[in-house]
């Protein structure tokens, strides 16, 4: 038999409130130490045990031996001219994932921030336009690995002089992976981020994206928290969506639209559809009409996103005038929609691009 593999430390953000209390009890500490730890992690955004000043030195020494404050480590960073920050994180087992923060000026000296986090290392969906989809699936992330991406960027905002409103960003689970395929870890992360004694982020400040896992959307509709749902649509016909989003072969548009309507009916919340516009592929006026027909009567909003240019890719961005024409056609047919401003194009901010670039450089 091979030698024992070195045991990984406990990641504190992986622990539920009860599990953290149990861990503190195992260390022979009084129960209130768990509350102190939770406060340091989610309120003070401590990045090390040394910063936790009201913990006894002996306890901090024990924690350093057995646990880590964060289970992700930034190893590569890119900053866009539009202030988007893209970071590649190494996990404790050596896997890597991407996350990013986008800034949205809000006036009066404050900015709003959207943190886009990953839920899996790689992805099994296999969308041909997505760099992550071409990398294959490696594993699900733990709740702590998901949470730590949010804490990292929130910490960055604070260190850069952000004010109190900046501390609570919008969080979108739209990075690497299919969030609903990692359902339990996703929901634990959401619970901790939402908890009053956790990060205390409002549920409506969080949005979960999915490629269209119908059974998981049904389950998600029954969750008590008012977290938003976004569906990556990209096509209004099965023939085209089968190519762009291969999971459509399992859950075709008829089933997907049925569960989306059920979600709206069950939750009373508007659903968002993400539609990436690819030049000459899904950006024509007849296709806008087809999309409007598909969504007619549904309480929904369409986010149109012009594809970012990717060197060597057969998927090209549309012209700006084409994007505006597509938007106008949807509006003319009374579909609520927005043409989202692409961010981070100059740093390859599309999902998985930084990871692919670093992996390629390491091989050369």
Residues 134 and 278 in one domain: yes
| Residue 5 within a domain | no
Domain CATH code at residue 246: 3.20.20.70
- What pLDDT does residue 354 have? 63
Residues 155 and 287 in one domain: yes
Residues 55 and 79 in one domain: no
Contact 150, 194 (CB under 8 A): no
**Catalytic-role residue among 98, 178, 274, 329:** 98
Of 25, 44, 68, which closes a domain?
68
Interval 249-307: pLDDT, tens? 999 999 999 999 999 999 999 999 999 999 999 999 999 999 999 999 999 999 999 99
The total of other beta-carbon atoms located within 10 Å of residue 164's CB is 8
Residues 194 and 238 in one domain: yes
Residues 223 and 335 in one domain: yes
Per-residue tokens: 100: 């990013």
Q: Point out the residues of the chain with pLDDT beneath 50.
A: 1-5, 107-109, 165-166, 360, 363-364
Of 68, 85, 112, which closes a domain?
68
Residues 183 and 105 in one domain: yes
3-state secondary structure at position 195: coil
CA dist 173 and 49 (Å) reads 28
Structural domain harbouring 25: 10-68
- What pLDDT does residue 160 have? 67
Of 68, 96, 115, which closes a domain?
68
| Residue 241 within a domain | yes
| Residue 253 within a domain | yes
| Residue 3 within a domain | no
Contact 356, 123 (CB under 8 A): no
Residues 138 and 250 in one domain: yes
Residues 150 and 226 in one domain: yes
CA dist 134 and 125 (Å) reads 9
User: Among this protein's residues, is 77 annotated catalytic?
Assistant: no
CA dist 80 and 270 (Å) reads 32
Residues 46 and 192 in one domain: no
| Residue 323 within a domain | yes
- What pLDDT does residue 351 have? 61
- What pLDDT does residue 304 have? 98
Residues 34 and 175 in one domain: no
Q: How many domains does the chain have?
A: 2
| Residue 30 within a domain | yes
User: Among this protein's residues, is 127 annotated catalytic?
Assistant: no
The total of other beta-carbon atoms located within 10 Å of residue 76's CB is 16
Residues 212 and 318 in one domain: yes
CA 179 to chain centre: 8
**Catalytic-role residue among 11, 123, 300, 351:** 351
| Residue 38 within a domain | yes
Residues 160 and 42 in one domain: no
CA dist 219 and 223 (Å) reads 7
| Residue 254 within a domain | yes
3-state secondary structure at position 327: helix
């Amino acid at each position: 038999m091979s030698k024992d593999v070195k045991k990984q430390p406990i990641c504190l953000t992986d622990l539920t409130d009860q599990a953290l209390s149990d861990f503190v009890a195992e260390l022979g500490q009084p129960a209130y130490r768990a509350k102190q730890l939770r406060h340091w992690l989610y309120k003070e955004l401590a990045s090390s045990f040394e910063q936790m000043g009201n913990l006894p030195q002996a306890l901090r020494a024990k924690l350093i031996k057995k646990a880590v404050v964060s289970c992700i480590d930034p190893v590569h960073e890119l900053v866009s001219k539009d202030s988007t920050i893209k970071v590649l994180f190494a996990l404790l087992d050596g896997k890597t994932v991407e996350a990013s923060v986008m800034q949205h000026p809000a006036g009066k000296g404050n900015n709003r921030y959207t943190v886009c986090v990953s839920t899996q290392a790689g992805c099994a969906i296999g969308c041909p336009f997505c760099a992550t989809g071409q990398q294959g699936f490696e594993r699900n992330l733990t709740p702590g690995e998901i949470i730590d991406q949010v804490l990292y960027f929130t910490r960055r905002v604070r260190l850069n002089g952000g004010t109190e409103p900046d501390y609570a960003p919008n969080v979108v689970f739209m990075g690497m992976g299919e969030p609903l395929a990692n359902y339990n870890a996703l929901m634990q992360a959401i619970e901790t981020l939402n908890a009053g004694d956790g990060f205390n982020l409002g549920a409506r400040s969080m949005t979960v994206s999915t490629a269209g896992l119908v059974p998981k959307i049904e389950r998600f509709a029954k969750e008590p928290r008012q977290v938003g749902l976004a569906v990556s649509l990209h096509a209004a016909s099965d023939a085209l969506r089968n190519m762009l989003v291969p999971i459509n072969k399992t859950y075709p548009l008829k089933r997907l639209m049925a569960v989306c309507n059920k979600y709206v009916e069950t939750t009373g919340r508007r659903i968002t559809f993400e539609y990436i516009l690819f030049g000459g592929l899904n950006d024509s006026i007849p296709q806008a009409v087809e999309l409007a027909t598909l969504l007619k009567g549904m309480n929904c909003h369409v986010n149109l996103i012009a594809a970012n240019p990717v060197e060597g890719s057969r998927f090209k961005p549309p012209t700006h005038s084409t994007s505006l024409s597509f938007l106008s056609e949807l509006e003319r047919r009374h579909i609520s929609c927005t043409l989202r401003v692409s961010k981070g194009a100059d740093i390859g901010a599309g999902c998985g691009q930084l990871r692919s670039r670093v992996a390629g450089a390491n091989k050369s």
